[in-house]
Structure 1
Amino acid sequence: MELNQETVERYSRQLILNEVGLEGQTKLKNAKIIVIGAGGLGCPLSLYCCAAGVGTIGIIDNDTVDASNLHRQICHDVNHLGTPKVDSIEKKLNALNPLVKIIKYQTKLNRSNAVEIFSNFDVIVDCSDNAPTRYLASDASVLLRKPLVSASALRFEGQLSVYRPFELGNPCYRCIFPDAPDPSLTGSCSTAGVMGFVCGVMGSVQAQEVVKQIVGLDRSLVGKMLVYSALDCSFRTIKLRSKVEDCVCNSNPKSLQCFKDVLFECSPPLMILKDKERILPDDYSKMIAEKTPHLLIDVRNFQETQFSNLGYEKPGDFLHLPIKKITDSDDISAIVSNINTKMSELKDDCNLIVVMCKRGNNSQKAVQKLKQTDLVKQFELKDVKGGLLGLKDLIPDSNIFDY
């Protein structure tokens, strides 16, 4: 590595560290990392790796910048709305350090392109927000014998671990999580929420572990998991189990086909109710316009109702019952009594109860549970297919769809 004036000035504060020095800085310059995701984790991770002088940074992302990204995805701003995230992050990184080469992959990572892309890089960095991608990144790490630095952030919590499954005793992601979670039971940033600073903390620590892998510092998170809680302002390090004997990573796999496939596409909407038990968005918007009598039950949680209020209902024909209050109740008789009271306040000819949620999944669960009570003998119970989002463009002059 040539120690010219620009190099010395830019990296002087880390060049003087014994753990880095000229040798470590040269390793950073020659290193190539591939970052999966240009979002909440990928942005701070890429910024710090770029600032540290990692020579080549590849970015995989097929998404465009949305206003809801801006509170945590700090490489993007209002000028980038609607543009590909890989283009936005490239501009940010080039402005920070033009000595670093940025390679963009505006594509969706999948089993057919993962090996080809990852083969060109030294370290795989998982900044994704879904389980199938994490399994895919781990499988490629095993197959290509490349270290994987994987992090996640949700609500007020974060997790981070480093996987080197090609080394004796070190587990892969499948060793720790042998079975993929049920997509209907797992949350995401869009459904469960996340604080931006949690992404900042986890992305920064993730960059720390990437640099340590490149420079060769021994004290890393291999075989451990770092757990962060913003609410407690605490970090805990958990020792992970050793490599599982019957895991596929122990069998010297030759291709990704050796690994159990995890569905990459988003899970389809729940189909609990029959079509005749559901109301199409078009039909429900007509009911609103025609003022068809019915009791509307909103089963979203309290936080969701705060920024998306059902403002079109008339007084007396609306009830808020969070989904957990319905599905997790040991004694649903109080809920039934409350609904009966509301129905008695409406017109005599009203016998319809409509259940609403954000997407049309929890509303089905609520209708299913309520149909196990005596309500089904007195009233017609239906939900709105697609929920509030299905009505987004159908109810005019409404500000209830701000998310």
Structure 2
Amino acid sequence: MDLTDEELDRYARHIVLKQVGGTGQGLIKKARVTVIGAGGIGCPAIQYLAAAGVGALTIIDDDRVSLANLQRQTLFTTGDVGALKAERAADAVRALNPHVAVTAQVARITAANVAELIVDTDVVLDGCDNFATRLLVSDHCTRVHIPLVSAAIGQFQGQIGTFRGWEAGAPCYRCFVGDAHDPDDCDSCAEQGVLGAMAGMMGSFAAMEAIRLVTGFGPEATGKLHVFDGIAPMMRTIRLPKDPACRTCGQ
């Protein structure tokens, strides 16, 4: 895809990377990415995807900005308290990069609407805060063959993985967590706390993995879980097996 003179200037630091170049930037420009959740993970992910020049960005979130969000959700300001996150995030994308076609979907993903909300996209980046939504998203992505980048944070820890569960030998997100879906089993940021900078790290990492999927740079990341310990600090990578008994992608 051709880049304008303005785009060549804007994305010059990408284009000089031999692993990206003009071809890779053209692929980014063509890419359609859906971000689930404009929260701690979603905010930095949205910023970096927009800055990278992703062609079309869909943001799905039904929540409103609260004062307690501002410690880690860097797209929002004090004046945004009470506003819809998806709409404010979309406004920020338009201000950052007019080349990105952004759509705000003010909705909560359910079994009834997941196929309608996650459509015509090349990559899904999930940064939501509950297992029920994560599993709905994963099941749908596996069913329709959309690569999924899933990121999560808590306290001083973060984890991120890329899933293509329809492929032979590749796990889906359900292979990783099983059938857990009870919200009582999930620790929330409100209860456990989270370091704001951890959200920034994992959101930025998630954006990088989405761009990796679009451009193909570096080694294959599918089926790997990266776990970061912010206290140590250290990161380790785990190879996730495919669960042959998984009810989504197993035999």
Structure 2 length normalisation: TM-score? 0.96
1:32-53 CA deviation, whole Å, 9 max, x = no partner?
Answer: 0110000000000010011111
Whole-Å Cα distance in 2 between the matches of residues 196 and 47 of structure 1?
A: 16
Question: 1:296-347 CA deviation, whole Å, 9 max, x = no partner?
Answer: xxxxxxxxxxxxxxxxxxxxxxxxxxxxxxxxxxxxxxxxxxxxxxxxxxxx
Gaps of 5+ in 2: none
Worse overlay, 219-228 or 200-209? 219-228
Give the residue type in structure 2 aligned to 1:155: Q
Shift of 1:181: 5.5
Q: What do residues 161-181 of structure 1 show as CA deviations (whole Å, max 9, x unaligned)?
A: 000112110011111222306
In the alignment, is residue 114 of structure 1 matched against residue 114 of structure 2? yes
> C-alpha distance in 2, partners of 1:250/1:200?
31
Unaligned runs of 5+ in 1: 253-403
- TM-score w.r.t. the length of structure 1 is 0.60
Q: Deviations over 1:24-77 (max 9, x none)?
A: 111111110110000000000010011111111100000111100001000000
Once residues 227 and 94 of structure 1 are traced to their aligned partners in structure 2, the CA distance between those partners, rounded to angstroms, is 32
Preserved contact between residue 124 and residue 149 of structure 1 (Cα < 8 Å)? yes
Question: What secondary structure does 2:248 align onto?
Answer: helix
Matches within 5 A, 1:343-358: none
Q: Deviations over 1:97-138 (max 9, x none)?
A: 111011110011111111122122111110101111111111
Which letter does structure 2 place at the counterpart of 1:86?
Answer: A
**Alpha-carbon distance in 2 for matches of 1:187, 1:246:** 27
Specify the alignment match of 1:78 in structure 2. Answer: 78
1:1-400 correspondence runs (5 A): 1-180=1-180, 182-241=182-241, 243-250=242-249
Structure 1 letter corresponding to 2:147: P
In structure 2, do the counterparts of structure 1 residues 250 and 185 end up closer, same or farther at CA, with 3 Å as the change threshold? closer
Contact in 2 for aligned 1:162/1:220 (Cα 8 Å):
no
Q: Report the AA paired with residue 231 of structure 1.
A: I
State whether residues 32 and 55 of structure 1, in contact with CA within 8 Å, keep that contact through their aligned partners in structure 2: yes
Between the aligned partners of 1:185 and 1:145, the Cα distance in structure 2 is 29
Whether the 8 Å contact between 1:171 and 1:223 is mirrored in structure 2 is yes
Q: Give the Cα–Cα distance (whole angstroms) in 2 for the partners of residues 230 and 181 of structure 1.
A: 27
Distance 1:130 1:4 in 2: 41
RMSD between aligned residues: 1.4
Q: Is the 8 A contact 2:39 2:127 kept in 1?
A: yes
Shift, 1:228, TM fit: 0.6
Q: Which has the higher contact order (CA 8 A, sep 6+)?
A: 2
Q: How many residues were matched structurally?
A: 251
Q: CA deviation at 1:221?
A: 2.8
Shift of 1:218: 4.8
What is the CA–CA distance in structure 2 between the aligned matches of 1:229 and 1:17, rounded to whole Å? 29
How far apart, in 2, do the equivalents of 1:185 and 1:148 lie? 23
Contact 2:149 2:163 in 1 (8 A): yes
Letter in 1 for 2:139: D
Q: 1:239 Cα deviation (Å)?
A: 1.3
Look up the SS of the partner of 1:231 in the other structure.
coil
SS in 1 for 2:128: coil
Q: Partners of 1:29 and 1:245 in 2: how far apart? A: 37
Q: Tell me which amino acid in the other structure corresponds to 2:228.
A: Y
8 Å Cα contact 1:33-1:121 kept in structure 2: yes
Higher Cα Rg: structure 1 or 2?
1
Contact preservation (8 Å) 1:151, 1:206:
yes
Q: Judge conservation of contact 2:55–2:100 (CA < 8 Å) in 1.
A: yes
Higher deviation after alignment, 65-74 or 85-94: 85-94
**In structure 1, distance between residues paired with 2:13 and 2:249:** 42
Amino acid paired to 2:156? F
Distance 1:149 1:135 in 2: 13
CA contact (8 A) 2:132 2:181 kept: no
Q: In 2 relative to 1, CA 172–73 (structure 1 residues): closer, same or farther, beyond 3 Å?
A: same
- TM superposition shift of 1:238: 1.0
